[in-house]
Chain A
Amino acid sequence: RKEVEQDPGPFNVPEGATVAFNCTYSNSASQSFFWYRQDCRKEPKLLMSVYSSGNEDGRFTAQLNRASQYISLLIRDSKLSDSATYLCVVRPNAGGTSYGKLTFGQGTILTVHP
């Protein structure tokens, strides 16, 4: 079983749509959670961190369910510029020799069309 699993999609949605991505992780000791965005042939960029209480940044809402080991990202009012690959990322507990390691999911491809 992969440490971080995502539905690879692709998701193809019209502008203005609401789209949700899901992600599960296997290591219950994981401490930090993120969503990164990666444009075609570019490097990943941090979109937002994910907190247990849930957090929102404009049109983006992230949720974490530690009991189910499940992370989600909701994008409202999709824009053409939201087209990218969205990567679910988990980091183990701080301390030890691997705390800096980020574990990425496969990524979910989103295409927003006019």
Chain B
Amino acid sequence: ETGVTQSPTHLIKTRGQQVTLRCSSQSGHNTVSWYQQALGQGPQFIFQYYREEENGRGNFPPRFSGLQFPNYSSELNVNALELDDSALYLCASSFGKETQYFGPGTRLLVL
């Protein structure tokens, strides 16, 4: 096990709602990256947080936002949910640019 945990494991929401996903990084890691994985696709980079600051962002709209806390845990917030937001959301923790270790993910279904 990587020591990276995510909650909740599964979530069902309706269009227009807001969701918050949580990630606890592995002990000793100061960087958290978030990815979205649609069915049958590889993970896509959403953004990364390093020492509580956003440190790079992929091609996702502003309604995808995040936070990192002093203990390096992180949240991903998605506003105004759309059907296409249904996916597996993965967080990965690392020490800086070293190897990223993934959590088990949160499966989000938007109806």
Q: Which residues on A are within 8 Å of B, measured CB to CB?
A: 4, 8, 42-46, 87, 94, 96-107
Contacts and interface: CB of A to CB of B under 8 A. Distances in A.
Given A44-B43, A106-B41, A107-B42, A101 B33 contact: yes
8 tightest Cβ-Cβ pairs between the two chains A and B: A104-B42, A43-B102, A98-B56, A100-B48, A101-B45, A97-B56, A104-B43, A107-B42
Given A100-B97, A103-B45, A106-B42, A43 B56 contact: no
Interface string B36-54: 0000111111001010000
B31 A100 contact: yes
- Classify the secondary structure of A's interface with B: loop
Interface of B: 2, 31, 33, 35, 40-45, 48, 50, 55-58, 90, 92, 94, 97, 99-105
Contact of B102 (A45, A96, A97): A45
Contacts, number: 58
7 contacts: A4-B42, A43-B105, A100-B97, A101-B33, A101-B48, A102-B35, A103-B45
